[in-house]
Amino acid sequence: MSNLQGKICVVTGATAGIGRMSAHRLAEMGATVIIVVSRNPRKCDEVVEAIRQQTGNPAVEAMPADLSSLQQIRALARRFLDTYPRLDVLLNNAGAIFTSRQVSVDGIEMTWALNHLSYFLLTHLLMDALKAAPAARVINVSSDAHLMGTIAFDDVQFERRRYSGFGAYSQSKLANVMHAYALARRLEGTPITVNALHPGAVATDFGKNNSGVWGKLFKLFGRFTISPEEGAQTSVYLASAPEVAGITGKYFYRCKPKPSSRASYDVQAQEKLWRLSAEMVGL
Ligand SMILES: NC(=O)c1ccc[n+]([C@@H]2O[C@H](COP(=O)([O-])OP(=O)(O)OC[C@H]3O[C@@H](n4cnc5c(N)ncnc54)[C@H](OP(=O)(O)O)[C@@H]3O)[C@@H](O)[C@H]2O)c1
């Protein structure tokens, strides 16, 4: 097991599923782990306490933020920068699927706001801390759902076309991969690496935020999936393994690089996405 003593890691969406297991594993390896949590302060205290007790590592802290809110992402980044001198690992993991169209407090379609803009803005705001680390790693948890995604540049928020939960989800997961590639390119020549991954089909709370028949379908889907332990493996590998030091701009599955969709490699589209995202978050 890698030794992460002295490393500072931020894991978003760490109250459940893949994120929680990833935070646990990083804490087990001795890292200081900041878990970003949103909805339920009691649940978040329970998770912090459980990880501390189970790993014997007291350096686990929760920072609450609703990552669908731009203002809360900014407050979170400020709090982190005020508290910690650098950031060694940023694991962008929080994500969800919404089977009916919802909008964030900023009036942005929820899947785009939470799954993509939060990765984009949080990474941007923490860049100075990432640069202060000897060789920071940024990891975007995407999904093979991106293979079916397209970025509808004229309507990313499903304002003019009929909303599709899967369409919005696969679009956001494609954006996670393209963001990783565009950022890796920008950081070429620096020690910071940026990679994206597919965790597999994992039995988590994913999708259960939806009611009715969709919520039941997601629960059923849970029977055909791998455990959160297995689902967290690639995230933890990218965060900690010495053999991926210096590897950047790749898409991983089962701890190995694999090709992502053809659309994800379109550099012009990556740059267009970058400009659109920067505009939407007010950079
Ligand atoms: N499960 C799969 O089969 C699968 C497959 C491919 C990719 N993925 C990806 O893996 C990642 C993790 O998914 P999961 O399956 O572990 O999901 P999960 O069990 O539903 O956990 C999602 C986490 O995200 C957090 N979250 C949700 N909305 C948030 C918000 N507005 N602000 C801050 N945090 C928020 C949740 O925290 P609170 O509940 O505290 O808000 C929770 O900790 C996602 O990016 C997903 O797209 C999952």
Rounded to the nearest angstrom, the distance between the alpha carbon of 95 and the centre of ligand 1 is 4
Domain count, the chain: 1
Contact 171, 150 (CB under 8 A): yes
Least trusted range by pLDDT, from 93-102, 105-114, 192-201, 219-228: 219-228
The pLDDT score that the predictor gives to residue 38 is: 76
Structural domain contains residue 2:
no
The long-range contacts involving 49-57, CB below 8 angstroms and separated by at least 24 positions, are 51/20, 51/23, 51/24, 51/27, 52/27, 54/24, 55/24, 55/27, 55/28, 57/27, 57/28, 57/30, 57/31, 57/33
Residue 223, pLDDT above cutoff 70: no
What are the φ and ψ backbone dihedral angles of 38, each rounded to 5 degrees? -120, -70
Contact 251, 195 (CB under 8 A): yes
Residue 215, pLDDT above cutoff 80: no
Q: What is the mean pLDDT of the chain?
A: 94
Of 130, 70, 69, 99, residue with least CA distance to 206: 99
- Measured from the CB, is residue 202 less than 6 Å from ligand 1? yes
Contact 122, 90 (CB under 8 A): yes
| Residue 224: domain span | 8-281
Structural domain contains residue 1:
no
Structural domain contains residue 105:
yes
Q: How far is CA 210 from CA 58, 104, 142, 176, 266, in A?
A: 35, 16, 20, 22, 33
CATH number of the domain encompassing residue 256: 3.40.50.720
Stretch 107-114: mean pLDDT = 98
Q: Rounded to an integer, what distance in angstroms lies between the CA atom of residue 52 and that of residue 160?
A: 47
Q: Is 169 a catalytic residue?
A: yes
Structural domain contains residue 259:
yes
- The number of the ligand 1 atom at minimal distance from the alpha carbon of 209 is 20
Rounded to the nearest angstrom, the distance between the alpha carbon of 189 and the centre of ligand 1 is 32
The catalytic residue among 84, 119, 163, 169 is 169
Residue 211, pLDDT above cutoff 80: no
- Measured from the CB, is residue 230 less than 6 Å from ligand 1? no
pTM: 0.96
- Measured from the CB, is residue 127 less than 6 Å from ligand 1? no
Residue 68, pLDDT above cutoff 90: yes
- Measured from the CB, is residue 39 less than 6 Å from ligand 1? yes
Which residue's CA is minimally distant from atom 45 of ligand 1?
Answer: 95
Structural domain contains residue 3:
no
The pLDDT score that the predictor gives to residue 218 is: 67
In the chain, % of residues over pLDDT 90 = 86
In the structure, what pLDDT confidence band is assigned to residue 208 with cuts at 50, 70 and 90?
Answer: confident
